[in-house]
Structure 1
Amino acid sequence: MKKLNIALLLLVMVALSSCSVIGGIFKAGAVVGIVAVLVIIGIIFWIFSMFSGKQ
């Protein structure tokens, strides 16, 4: 019975820590996604300004 309690405790600890790790990955992914979108929009504006500047 004591081994079962220890195993259950270890399982809960691993499950809860993995949830926080996944949460951190999603937060970092959201920041990287926002930065990537801003960079792409900046590149698009730069390309349009190059074409409009030639005329």
Structure 2
Amino acid sequence: MKQFKYIGVWLIAVAISLSSCEVIGDIFRAGMAVGIFVVVLVVGLIIWLLTRMRR
């Protein structure tokens, strides 16, 4: 139960110290990085599959 108490205090401190625009910007920046990673992974998988099919 004490862990939930500390998490609540931490969330309140973060909410007060950051503005909403910064939080949204960080979320989009992380989402963009994950999106780029997924696209590179899918393109690499397609290239790998094409090279395997030609053999």
Segments of 4+ in structure 1 off by > 6 A? Answer: none
Query: Which structure is larger by alpha-carbon Rg, 1 or 2?
Result: 1
Point out where structure 1 has 5 or more consecutive residues left out of the alignment. Answer: 1-13
5+ long unaligned stretches in structure 2: 1-15
TM-score, normalization: structure 1? Answer: 0.65
**Kindly, what percent of the aligned residue pairs are identical?**
46
Structure 2 counterpart SS, 1:24: helix
How much is the aligned-residue C-alpha RMSD, in angstroms? 1.4
Equivalent position of 2:40 in the other structure: 38
Partner deviation per Cα, 1:1-32 (whole Å, 9 max, x = no partner): xxxxxxxxxxxxx6x71110000000001100
The letter of the residue matching 1:36 is V
What residue identity is the alignment partner of 1:46?
W
